[in-house]
Every structure is written in structure tokens, then in C-alpha cells.
């Protein structure tokens, strides 16, 4: 019998997510997988996996990516940067090196890039992705897409990037981190949010949070190119990662009953398939 893509995903999920060592992912409510992936720990419509620490978050997130690629070898992955997904990338590299995962048919689109910043700059997301993932796995170079932080016409660059996502068929699995102020990608709190790929200014809180990656705060770019909220919400599945006490306020706002552009992540509540993987520090009380 030929399985649908959804059934193949569920089968791969059954194997990959629960084939972890004891205690790898603590699930605080009864979970079941049949033809429909049921909530692992349900708060409203969002599925939540509550982990004890960062390593558990990383292992669980990697298993979701692994299940997605096994179910659909030519999956379109939306990738994120920052400190939160680094452990997940390490797990995926290990799976690849062990022969458990093949990225040869995968296509990737990164969420964002600083502007203006060259791809060779060690703080660019081009550099980050190469050092943290791409140089160790077999995604074809022509299937890797990252916004050009040196584009002479950033508006044209953003338009072409959005068109490329659409031409690829959209994102199958979008990986997100969450900023302390609730930003996703570089969609910062504001009165209005853009739906499409665009150039945006960075808030002072984001500049301060990212200053640790630069020699001085003055070196942090004040602009970025980012995939917009509309493009994120068009992803078929969204995987949101959060770790540490500094993310607790943003996660708490994510799980309340309100939707506001002052917390961009709160717009994820309108999506039908969001999985939050967080530790107890980020989840709070």
C-alpha cells in the first residue's frame, strides 16, 4: 500500500522521536501517534515538548528534522541561526556521519542575514551556517539559500528570495528560535509587521542581545534582511526552540490568550501545526 506523505511523516516520527534513550524527552501528558500526531503536551492548539535541559532540546529537535527528511527526502527546510539551534545542528551532523541521514536531495532557506555584512564576515549567517552545519553534511551547494547581506538593491534581493521560496513549493519544516522580545527571524516588535521578505531595522534589545557575538556593540549591524511573518506562517510545520530563563517572558506571552505585533511570535498561534520544544527554565512556572 502506498503511504501518503503525512503517513510517512508519522511513521518516521514514531521511529525517530521515541527511539531516544530514557529521559531524553520528558513528556508531561499522555501522548499517542496514530494517523494524526496528537499533542505531546497541549496548551491550546500548540504542541509542547518540555525538556530538562538544552541537550534534550537539541536531541528532540534533531529527531523532528530527521523524521521530516526521512519522510520526504527532498524536503524544503527553513533554517535558523543563533545559539539555540547549534546543538540541534551538532546532532544532525552526527546522524549524517553515522549514515543515518542523507541531505543530498534537501533544499534549505535561511531565515535572515545581517545587512550590510559580507558573507566572509565571521558574524554573518553565511559563515555561521557553513561552520555549524553545511561544511559537514551533503546538502548540494546550489540548494542552499541565504539572503545576500551585500546586495546593492536589498528590495530586489528580498523579492527574488521570496520568489525562490514559492518556486520551491514552500517550506515543509520551518525552524525558529525566539528572541527575548518575542522576535522570530528578524521580525521585531512593531505596530505593523511585514508579511514578505524585507529589510528591517533591529531594535536596541536585539542589538544588545547580539552584541556578545561581536567584538564591540558598535560593530553590530543595525539592519537585517529577513523572511516575513507571512512566509513563516505559510510553512507546513513550524518547530520553535526556546532555552533559558531569558526566554521565559517571551514563551509566557506566546502561550497566553493574546496575539499582538508587539510580540511577533504570538502570531504563531494562528498556525495549525506548531511544535514548541523548550526547557523548564524557558517554560517557567
- Which positions are annotated as active-site residues? 112, 181, 183, 188
What does 34-59 look like in DSSP terms, one character per residue? SSSB--SSEETTEEEEEESSHHHHHH
Q: CA-to-CA distance for 76 and 65, rounded, in angstroms?
A: 11
Q: CA-to-CA distance for 199 and 228, rounded, in angstroms?
A: 10
Q: CA-to-CA distance for 171 and 283, rounded, in angstroms?
A: 27
Q: CA-to-CA distance for 256 and 97, rounded, in angstroms?
A: 41
Residues 6+ apart with CB under 8 A from 5: 71, 72
Cell numbers linked to 260: 499582538
- Taking a C-beta distance cutoff of 8 angstroms, is the pair 122, 149 a contact? no
Amino acid at each position: 500500500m502506498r503511504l501518503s506523505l503525512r503517513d510517512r511523516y508519522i511513521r518516521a516520527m514514531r521511529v525517530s522521536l521515541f527511539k531516544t534513550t530514557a529521559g531524553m524527552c520528558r513528556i508531561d501528558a499522555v501522548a499517542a501517534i496514530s494517523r494524526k500526531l496528537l499533542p505531546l503536551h497541549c496548551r491550546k492548539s500548540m504542541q509542547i515538548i518540555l525538556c530538562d535541559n538544552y541537550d534534550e532540546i537539541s536531541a528532540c529537535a534533531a529527531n523532528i528534522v530527521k523524521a521530516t527528511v526521512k519522510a520526504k527526502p527532498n524536503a524544503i527546510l527553513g533554517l535558523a541561526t543563533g545559539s539555540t539551534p547549534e546543538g540541534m545542528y551538532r546532532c544532525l551532523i552526527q546522524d549524517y556521519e553515522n549514515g543515518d541521514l542523507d541531505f543530498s536531495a534537501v533544499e534549505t532557506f535561511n531565515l535572515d542575514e545581517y545587512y550590510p555584512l559580507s558573507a566572509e564576515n565571521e558574524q554573518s549567517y553565511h559563515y555561521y551556517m557553513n561552520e555549524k552545519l553545511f561544511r559537514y553534511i551533503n546538502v548540494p551547494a546550489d540548494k542552499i539559500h541565504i539572503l545576500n547581506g551585500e546586495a546593492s538593491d536589498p528590495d530586489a534581493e528580498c523579492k527574488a528570495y521570496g520568489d525562490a521560496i514559492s518556486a520551491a513549493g514552500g517550506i515543509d519544516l520551518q525552524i525558529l528560535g525566539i528572541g527575548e522580545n518575542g522576535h522570530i527571524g528578524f521580525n521585531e516588535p512593531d505596530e505593523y509587521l511585514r508579511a514578505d521578505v524585507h529589510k528591517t531595522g533591529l531594535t536596541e534589545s536585539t542589538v544588545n542581545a547580539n552584541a556578545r557575538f561581536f567584538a564591540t556593540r558598535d560593530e553590530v549591524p543595525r539592519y537585517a534582511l529577513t523572511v516575513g511573518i507571512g512566509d513563516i506562517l505559510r510553512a507546513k510545520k513550524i518547530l520553535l526552540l526556546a532555552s533559558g530563563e531569558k526566554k521565559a517572558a517571551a514563551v509566557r506571552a506566546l502561550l497566553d490568550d493574546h496575539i499582538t505585533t508587539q510580540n511577533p511570535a504570538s502570531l504563531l498561534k494562528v498556525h495549525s501545526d506548531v511544535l514548541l520544544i523548550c526547557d523548564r527554565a524557558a517554560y517557567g512556572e
